[in-house]
Structure 1
Amino acid sequence: MSELASPEVRNINAEQVLAHLPMRAAVDALKQALLQGYDPALAHPRASAAVEHGEFLMMPSEFGDYAGIKILTLGPDNPRKGAPLIQGSYFLFDADTLSPLAVIDGPALTAIRTPAVSALGIEMLAAPDASRLVVFGTGPQAEYHVRAAAAVREISSVRIVGRSSNKTARLVETLISEGFNAKAGEADDVENADIIACCTSSQEPLFDGDKVQNGAVVVAMGSHSPDARETDDALARRAAFYVEDVDTALREAGDAVIAVQRHLLRREDLVGLSSLVLDGKRDPSRPALFKTVGMGWQDLVTAKALFENLPG
């Protein structure tokens, strides 16, 4: 009896992810999936499992010819041990046979996927001439969100608002070396911003939402628990509020959960990303708030784009 030959499983490291998944391509892949009719409401929910020194996070998904799952580990004590806080891999499969196709560096894929989702929101919601960007945070997501915004708009200035002056200065230096007009900023810089990106681990609002100008876009991705938020009551009261998926947001997105609990908006006021992409309308008379928590379908769609773009 002959055995079926196993398909070659490609191992895709972080350098290959960054080389073969341009930000613009990731944004286009996400947008195209929604235009083709993918409904985020049908996405598998993320799962987690506690272990002695942290937890496993598991995000499965299926779309078209592919299925996949991202498995990450979160080790809160890792930084003092000299190990990364988040580690893991994305596993890509053929949807028909469930044969493995590729193992992809998980943090690198996430480093592109998360800001690409934000960039899709910016592309749909920001004015065509939006150019002034304020970013809260100094970590990798803050850095990649600058590049993501620049993939969909001509960015004329970047202000980085961080708690650590040293980390802020390092990120500013990196961005200047890439050609951005970047400087250290402060929270009140939101008054003059066209685009505001919240990329922090803060549990409390970062700025006064009354200072955000009408027509500006705020993307908030730093928190994904129902009791934490980066934006305040004032912004929730004023803004057109967009989320990846309404049910997911009301489970995991504190910015939305708290706003609904405080009767600042109703569940029906939340607009899903699919509706935004298919409808394409924005309201320049109000700020727009796009709150994301990350969903498995986004990893699958970007992993597919990466896999199909690999040479050979």
Structure 2
Amino acid sequence: MTTPSAEPALRILRREDVLAAATDVDPVACVQATLLAHARGATTLPDEAYLPWHTPSSGVFARSLALPGAVWGERPAVGLKVINSSLDNPARGMPRAQGWTFLFDPDTARPIAMLEAAWISATRTAAYTVLSARLLAAPRVDRIAVLGTGALAETHLDLLGAEYPDASTVVYDLDPARARAFAALHRADVADEPRDAVEGAGLVVCTTTTTTGYIALDWLAPGALVAHVSLDDVLPEVVAGADLVVIDDWDLIAADDRRLLGRMLREGTLAPPGESRDGARTVDASLADVVAGAHPGRARDTDVILSNPFGMGVLDVALAADVHDAALARDLGTIIQP
């Protein structure tokens, strides 16, 4: 007589499954709840693992990121996002980045679900931007600038269009043809130069792959909020001169030596929240602090605010868990038995 296996089945949610289940999920509410849990110490957020290389075929940059995380509470969410990218992929007709988000049973530690990661990753990032705008933007946003026109920019405009239906949008990309095609799909204007996009915008969203800063402080309009999603677009003078600098998690920034804020920390020109150092700009708060009411956020309508989200694996895991719950309710996905 064969003993039934105690190993759990694995539910695989491909992109079409994720998209179908996501119609029952509010990603902004998920991000807000997770940040509140983070503020209360109810998360586990290890450092990301980072593997860079240059491709053998063309020598372009490629990388693999692994972001683990857990959110504790009545329904714990434990998991890991693995997402890889190569700058040559769009030329191959492939998205630049793709991967899988894994969910684990919190009791047995066994994998129970494997979800296409690109939509979850882009959506949690865009949802973080929307939440940042709700909490930190000036009372009226009439113009949105989006730098970069890839999948992340598209996800941002999907969510921001619902948040700011009357705002105009201007986009910029290093590839003018790509920018024009993107703008036509989203009824946006195209800027010839990045400064033309940024100037006059109440919300500036950076979704590029640059590693070289180019946005100067004097480009930014009074009251502008910069959603510095791609982490290397602004010059150090923006960090130093902004009225408010808001991050997602200081430990992640401090552990990183590649992006702007991590480099400034090592140069001695940036200090942790609550710490004053000669010649250094002190980070003002985390968005979790603002969500939890520990920091008031914007003080004046004319304040220039920099939001610098490094990227928290707990947000991917939390959103994946919500999508997984919705998929279970609708019996979506492919089941792999042990």
Q: Contact 2:25–2:322 at 8 Å: present in 1 too?
A: no
Distance across 2 between alignment mates of 1:90 and 1:188: 37
1:29 Cα deviation from its structure 2 partner: 0.5
Distance across 2 between alignment mates of 1:68 and 1:308: 14
* Structure 1 residues 112 and 68: CA distance shift in structure 2, 3 A: same
Map 1:1-312; keep pairs closer than 5 Å: 2-21=3-22, 25-36=26-37, 37=39, 39=41, 42-49=44-51, 55-64=63-72, 65-75=76-86, 78=89, 84-176=95-187, 182-185=188-191, 186=193, 187-223=195-231, 229-239=232-242, 240-252=244-256, 254-260=259-265, 265-268=270-273, 269-270=282-283, 271-279=285-293, 280-284=296-300, 285-310=302-327, 311-312=330-331
Distance across 1 between alignment mates of 2:40 and 2:107: 18
Higher mean C-alpha displacement, 117-126 vs 2-11:
2-11
Which consecutive aligned stretches of 4+ in structure 1 deviate over 6 angstroms post-superposition? none
1:301 Cα deviation from its structure 2 partner: 0.9
Higher helix share: 1
1:41 Cα deviation from its structure 2 partner: 8.2
* Structure 1 residues 110 and 48: CA distance shift in structure 2, 3 A: same
Superposed CA RMSD in Å reads 2.8
| TM-score scaled by length of structure 1 | 0.85
Higher mean C-alpha displacement, 276-285 vs 229-238:
276-285
Q: Contact 1:123–1:153 at 8 Å: present in 2 too?
A: no
* Structure 1 residues 6 and 222: CA distance shift in structure 2, 3 A: same
User: Aligned letter for 2:261?
Assistant: A
Distance across 2 between alignment mates of 1:275 and 1:130: 23
Distance across 1 between alignment mates of 2:151 and 2:92: 20
Distance across 1 between alignment mates of 2:87 and 2:234: 25
Counting aligned pairs with the same residue, the percent is 25
Structure 1 regions of 5+ residues with no counterpart? 177-181, 224-228
1:28 Cα deviation from its structure 2 partner: 0.7
Q: Contact 2:84–2:98 at 8 Å: present in 1 too?
A: yes
Offset from partner CA, 1:81-134 (integer Å, 9 cap, x none): 665543321111221222332110112221212212222212211123223100
1:42 Cα deviation from its structure 2 partner: 4.3
Q: Contact 1:122–1:152 at 8 Å: present in 2 too?
A: no
Q: Contact 2:100–2:116 at 8 Å: present in 1 too?
A: yes
Higher relative contact order (Cα pairs below 8 Å, separated by 6+ residues): 2
Q: Contact 1:220–1:291 at 8 Å: present in 2 too?
A: yes
* Structure 1 residues 111 and 277: CA distance shift in structure 2, 3 A: same
Q: Contact 1:125–1:282 at 8 Å: present in 2 too?
A: yes
User: Aligned letter for 1:230?
Assistant: D
Distance across 1 between alignment mates of 2:54 and 2:209: 23
Distance across 2 between alignment mates of 1:58 and 1:96: 22
Q: Secondary structure at the match of 2:50?
A: strand
Q: Secondary structure at the match of 1:116?
A: helix
Higher mean C-alpha displacement, 185-194 vs 17-26:
17-26
User: Aligned letter for 1:31?
Assistant: Q
Higher mean C-alpha displacement, 254-263 vs 188-197:
254-263
Q: Secondary structure at the match of 2:26?
A: helix
Distance across 1 between alignment mates of 2:63 and 2:200: 40
| TM-score scaled by length of structure 2 | 0.79
